[in-house]
């Protein structure tokens, strides 16, 4: 059993904390807005008033918050940030989907503070978080990862070491860009199929039976055709991640026309008020 802090109790963080509790760990939780920890406290978690308070005495601290700004706040806020109070033997783990630039800056700040840090974003959504079947994409020192692997395995079905600091963040942005590009294309194709006189549900089902269709698109295509848009991976987070990917491409001078086109689709979805709906709501643009 380890003492672990979970910082951020949104859709993903709350379920990850629940998995840690179920695995028998001692968990202290913190969330910016009050009132999101009731179920976790009932299941045995302790609540802390700040990230700094939450990490007293822990072996690992896991942050799962929205974006770069939130991650900066959680780790580095001069009064309440976790990093300054992290015990020396502990590992700081950021599982938020953030930019590569921020993941590297945070890793440098952790190194300067003498703390071990991993960027460890996850592939998978709410159902995988609930089932402890997330796929961890980890950047940082392999020996540090080895120390916390049993903790990550309580929340994930696979733990993949991607490379040095920032490699997990980079891989996560690439995975999401690939997912979003395919979802945007599937939405477009089903809209076209309907206009051409085909049944979109049957069309999606048949595409799903060909070798070119990724398993995740089989699910997304069926959901689009059935009009299922309940938020798992909401449009506003998809657009955030595509924005990070586009910025990284521009910074490194890489050409990324498909990322730009995909981002334009999800920006249009945001502009049409679809931000809180699932990634599958891209289909609404083509009805």
Binding site for ligand NAP (CB under 6 A): 8-13, 31-33, 36, 64-67, 69-70, 73-74, 96-97, 122, 125-126, 232-233, 237
Active site residue 172: yes
Angle at which helix 200-208 crosses helix 215-226, to 10 degrees, equals 170
Read off the DSSP letter of residue 278. Answer: B
- Rounded to whole angstroms, how far apart are CA atoms 173 and 245? 6
What's the closest the beta carbon of residue 209 comes to ligand NAP, in angstroms? 26
What's the closest the beta carbon of residue 150 comes to ligand NAP, in angstroms? 21
User: Which CB sits closer to ligand NAP, 127 or 227?
Assistant: 127
User: Which CB sits closer to ligand NAP, 13 or 191?
Assistant: 13
Specify burial of residue 115 (Cβ count, 10 A radius: 0-12, 13-18, 19+): buried
User: Which CB sits closer to ligand NAP, 36 or 228?
Assistant: 36
Residues comprising the chain, all counted: 287
What's the closest the beta carbon of residue 36 comes to ligand NAP, in angstroms? 6
Residue nearest to ligand NAP (CB): 10
What's the closest the beta carbon of residue 144 comes to ligand NAP, in angstroms? 21
Residue 66's closest CA among 27, 9, 125? 9
Q: Is the separation of the CB atoms in 7 and 92 below 8 Å?
A: no
Residues 6 or more apart from 207 whose CB is under 8 A from it? 186, 189, 213, 217, 218, 221
User: Which CB sits closer to ligand NAP, 51 or 191?
Assistant: 51
Catalytic residue among 3, 88, 172, 240: 172
Active-site residue list: 172
């Amino acid at each position: 059993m380890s003492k672990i802090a979970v910082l951020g109790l949104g859709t993903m963080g709350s379920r990850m904390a629940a998995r840690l509790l179920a695995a028998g760990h001692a968990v202290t939780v913190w969330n910016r807005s009050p009132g999101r920890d009731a179920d976790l406290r009932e299941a045995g978690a302790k609540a802390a008033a700040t990230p700094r308070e939450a990490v007293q005495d822990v072996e690992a601290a896991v942050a799962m918050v929205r974006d770069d700004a939130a991650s900066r706040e959680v780790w580095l806020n001069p009064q309440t940030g976790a990093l300054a109070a992290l015990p020396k033997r502990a590992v700081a783990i950021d599982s938020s989907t953030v930019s590569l630039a921020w993941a590297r800056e945070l890793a440098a700040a952790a190194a300067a503070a003498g703390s071990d840090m991993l960027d460890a974003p996850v592939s998978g959504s709410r159902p995988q978080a609930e089932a402890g079947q997330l796929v961890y994409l980890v950047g940082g020192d392999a020996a540090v990862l080895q120390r916390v692997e049993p903790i990550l395995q309580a929340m994930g079905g696979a733990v993949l070491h991607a490379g040095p600091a920032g490699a997990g963040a980079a891989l996560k942005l690439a995975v999401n860009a690939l997912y979003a590009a395919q979802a945007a294309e599937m939405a477009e194709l089903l809209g076209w199929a309907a206009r051409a006189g085909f049944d979109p549900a049957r069309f999606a089902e048949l595409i799903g039976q060909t070798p070119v269709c990724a398993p995740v698109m089989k699910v997304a295509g069926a959901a689009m055709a059935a009009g299922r848009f309940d938020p798992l991976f909401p449009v506003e987070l998809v657009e955030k991640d595509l924005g990070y990917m586009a910025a990284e491409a521009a910074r490194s001078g890489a050409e990324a026309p498909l990322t730009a086109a995909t981002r334009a689709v999800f920006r249009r979805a945001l502009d049409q008020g679809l931000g809180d709906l699932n990634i599958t709501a891209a289909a609404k643009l083509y009805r």
